[in-house]
Structure formats: structure tokens, C-alpha cells
Structure 1
Amino acid sequence: MTVPDLSREARTRLRRADIITTAARIFATDGYAGVGMREIADAVGIRGASLYHHHASKEEILYAICLTVTREPNEENLPLLDAPGTPSQRMAALVRGHLRHLHRRRVEHLVGLHELASLTPEHRAVIDDHRRYYQRRVRDVIAAGMRTGEFTVPDARLATFGLLDMLNGISNWFHTDGDLSLDDVVDGYVELIVGRLLGASLAG
């Protein structure tokens, strides 16, 4: 199916996704403060008026970028914690899902980290709420694993912070042209996080 065959709604979604990924790339290279709406429109290949049709301001674009690494993981990854299985199995699935999503959204994640202070207080509060909810859901599964004896960590809250910092840290160093493949990193992190940090047995 070609782009003209898509519905208007689908074309709008594709255009907005293109704006977000393109703007994130420019913000990562030139900095949020050094980029204007005109530069974003030119990079996307649309007129300025068309860009304003999708986003009323540059800050709204930054907010949309931040949502891809906060609300989007909640929607895509947290259902893995509700799937059947033991806490160990569900945490292993979350680690895999989190890393693969983060790799796909690496640039957006780095922009969100560096430019978070540029959001309005209202938008910053929404982003913080998404992050806290993700943390709480992870902490609840860790606590469940502690109750069953699968996880040997003494503090679910501290384990959650350490686990998420470790996962998110791959944005700073992992590149697909390096010695490790994404599959290598995913498998290694399941062992390190679920098997070592949380202390679960991964046999079988």
C-alpha cells in the first residue's frame, strides 16, 4: 500500500511521527535552544504552516518527544508485567522489551534527558507521572518476587532505581556497529539484572 492509499488519519500519524523523530535528531545535534520551527519544517520537508498544524510550538514537539520515552513504554512494556508467569519470567520479559524499545528510541531518550528542563511545568508534571507509574509497576513485581522468595534483594525501591538506571544507561554507550549485537546486550542484561541483581534462578 502506498502513502496516497492511506487514510487521512493514518497519513497524519505518519507525519507526526516523522516530525518527532526528525526534531529529536536535530535537537540531539544542535541543541533544543539552537533550533527553530523553520529548521524543523525544512528538515521534515514541509512548510512552516503545515508544521504548526501538527504542533503549535517547539515546546509541544519536545513534549511529544518526551512522551515517546515515558507514555509509550507504559503502553508497550507494562503489559508484559501483567502476562502469565512468575515474577522472574515477567521481569525478564520487561528487561527485553525495555531494552528493545529504548534502542529504537535512543535519540528521543537522550533528548528527553538533556532537555527536560525546557518543558512547561504542566508538561513536565505529565512526564514525571508517567515515569513514576512505570517505576511503581516495576517495584510491585520486584516486591512480589521477594515475597515468593525468587528475588533476594533487601529493598524493592532501591532495586527498582538500580535496575532502571542500568537499563536506561545503554543509551550512552550501545551502538549497533560495535562488538555487541542488540541480542547480545538483551540476553546479557537479563542475566545481569534478573539473575544477578535480583538474585533469581534463570535455569530452565
Structure 2
Amino acid sequence: MAVMELTAVAEEDSDLRRSAFKPNAPACKAVVDQILRIIEQADTELLIPCVKAIGNLARTFRATETRMITPLVKLLDEREAEVSREASIALTKFASSDNYLHLDHAKAIISAGGAKHLIQLVYFGEQVVQISALVLLCYIAFHVPDSEELSKAEVLTVLEWACKQAFITQNEILDPLLPEAKSRLELYQSRGSRGFH
């Protein structure tokens, strides 16, 4: 819990983030390794604080450091809505435009099979999970619109469906994000279908 609180402060304070959470520092590496072990076991009361802590540190990881993406993507398939929601929020911190390495992280989420889990959550998840999953799906679609996996998973169909749901279109985060992601995906997929890549 203390680590979660520290990382929450570090997320907002770039000086603290750079000094206390250098990815190559042995102490930071040990903490991250321990947090990842808990996330991979996925059956402890510390799971949600650890997921939040990794999300809070999203901006400290290098593009090549993708080992935390796959365990978080696996949690999207959790039975518990709260776990899926926190996993999608943490992954959003990796894939959002605020993260300098959003492109690399978005590709890693796709490679880990994130699209199909997110589609399930958007269609069938509880409302709180639907919103957080859709935000993440929008960032991924926006940053990697030319992804063949997104095309095969029919993410555009999901975004079109979402645009017709009142509770989604009234969400202040999704209001600008959803139409932008949808139009970028439409643009790239229409090019692809005409044979341009």
C-alpha cells in the first residue's frame, strides 16, 4: 500500500519519478519485480494496489521494457470487474498520449492479445469496466490504426456500436476520444481495403 501511495505521488512529480524510480536502479528493479510477481499470481489482496502502482510508474519504463504489459493484459480477462477495470486503467497510462512511448506500449498491448479482451469488456462488462476498457481501446486504435490485429478483431465495429450508446457518448473522456479513434481507424482501414498500405 505504501508503494502504491509513493508511486501515485511520483506519477504527478517528474523529479521524484526520475530520482526514486530509475528503471535501471537495483532498488527500483527489485520493487518492480516484486510487484510483477504479485500481479502474475493474481490471487492476493495486494493485487489491485500493485496494478495501480505499475500504472503509476508507466512513464518510467523504456520502450523495450514490456514485461509488465502481458500480466496486465491477462488481468483484463479476470472474473472480478474491479480487477479488469484497474488493469485497463493501468494499461491506459501506458498507451495514452501523455506517455512519450505510447506507440510502443500500444503495440505491446496488441501483441499481448489486448484487443480481444477489451472488446469482450466493452460489449459485456459492467458499465464501470466498459468505460475504462473503451478508453484504452480508443487510445490503441488512435495510435496504431494500421494494425492488422485491430482490423481482424473488428475494433471499428465496436467503436461504431459505442458511438450509439448514450452513457458512453456522454462520458467526458470519451466525448472527444471516441470519434477521433473511430475516424482514424476508418481512414486506415478504408485505405487497406483498397490495397494501399
Q: What TM-score comes out, normalization by structure 2 length? A: 0.33
- Per the normalisation by structure 1, the TM-score is 0.32
Structure number with greater CO (CA < 8 Å, separation at least 6) is: 1
Structure ranking higher in helix proportion: 1
Q: Which has the larger radius of gyration?
A: 1
